Amino acid sequence: MSRTEQHYPREADARWRDYEWEIIPTSPMHPAMNIALDEVLTRRVGAGERRPTLRFWGWDSPVIVIGRFQSVRNEVQIENAAEHGVQVVRRITGGGAMFTLPGLDITYSIYAPPDLVKGLSFPESYAFLDSWVVDTYRELSIDAWYAPLNDITSSGGKIGGAAQARRFGAVLHHTMTSYDMDPKLMMQVLRIGMEKLSDKGLRSADKRVGPLRQQTNLPREAFFHALTERFMDLTGGELGEISNLEHQAAVELVRSKFATEEWTYLLP
């Protein structure tokens, strides 16, 4: 694989310490709750009602998460997904579809004031906000780097992708990385056309992906531990949790928006 690395001004690293960070560990949740929490926590940070936050995600069921601008029928083999109990949810950020099963991904969101990425171009901000993750993977002997615009990749294939939204007075940056995968099921539930792969020089989509499990003997928990430690070192942040109020707001958003056909099929 040719190595095109995306960079950002390293002096930006000092900015992480300009804020008091909170780190929320993962717990399995309904797919639509995860998406709803992104909106709730972005709004809360934007309104100054919560400290800048890193949240790790957990899923309680198989899921396809599609980007804000993706069409369901162009991305998902809907009947196959239903047959395999794979839910489809639409997130509030752009970017591409991701498929995962519970316990196979490492996904996190960063909710931050816009000043954290002030003066950085959009591509620079992507590389900056995931730099501590790439550093952690390298520390764990994964040959990883940040590829433009929004991918974490490695000599063993693509590990994950990031997406941002700049809304509600805050920056939302989330990244879904693959610890392990079921490539056969992925090819059954996602629709990945040849045009999408046209500049990749590879014949099949599953060969592009290189989950961490293929490159290491470390258990998934070791990655959460290392990522949490590194983020704490970087920011001086401490562990926190989702408040009852935030949880309730997310439940309400699931009901009114994220679990509705209207939202999921916004682009049919």
Partner 1 sequence: MHGEYKTPGGKLVVVDFDVHDGTIVDPMVSGDFFLYPEESLDQIVGSLVGLSVDTSEEQITQVVANAVPDGTELLGFSPEAIAIAVRRGLA
Rounded to 5°, angle at Cα 231 from 22 and 162: 95
Give 55 or 91: the residue with its C-beta nearer to partner 1: 91
Residues 133-152, interacting with partner 1 (CB under 8 A):
148-150
Q: What number of chain residues touch partner 1 (CB under 8 A)?
A: 28
Separation CA 106–CA 119 (nearest Å): 29
Q: Which of 79, 195, 261, 262 binds partner 1 (CB under 8 A)?
A: 195
Examine residue 199 and tell whether it contacts partner 1 (CB under 8 A): yes
Instruction: State the residue for tokens 């935030």.
Output: 246
Are 99 and 38 spatial neighbours (Cβ–Cβ below 8 Å)? Answer: no
Question: Among 9, 25, 48, 94, which residue interacts with partner 1 (rule: CB under 8 A)?
Answer: 94
Candidates 27, 74, 256, 260; binder of partner 1 (CB under 8 A) is: 74
- For 54-94, the three-class secondary structure string (H helix, E strand, C coil) is EEECEECCCEEEECCCCCHHHHECHHHHHHCCCEEEECCCC
Name the β-bridge partners of 11. none
3-state per-residue secondary structure call for 233-249: HHHCCEECCCCHHHHHH
User: Interface with partner 1 includes 213 (CB under 8 A)?
Assistant: no
Contact 146, 173 (CB under 8 A): no
Is 169 near partner 1 (CB under 8 A)?
no
- Of 141, 104, 126, 230, residue with least CA distance to 175: 126
46 binds partner 1 (CB under 8 A): no
* Closer residue to partner 1 in complex, CB, 169/193: 193
Q: Which is nearer to partner 1, 48 or 148 (CB)?
A: 148
**Does residue 265 touch partner 1 according to CB under 8 A?**
no
CB of 71 to partner 1, least distance (A): 4
Q: In the complex, what is the shortest distance from the CB of residue 65 to partner 1, in angstroms, rounded to a whole number?
A: 12
Residues that bind partner 1 (CB under 8 A): 67-71, 74, 93-97, 122-123, 148-150, 163-167, 193, 195-196, 198-199, 267-268
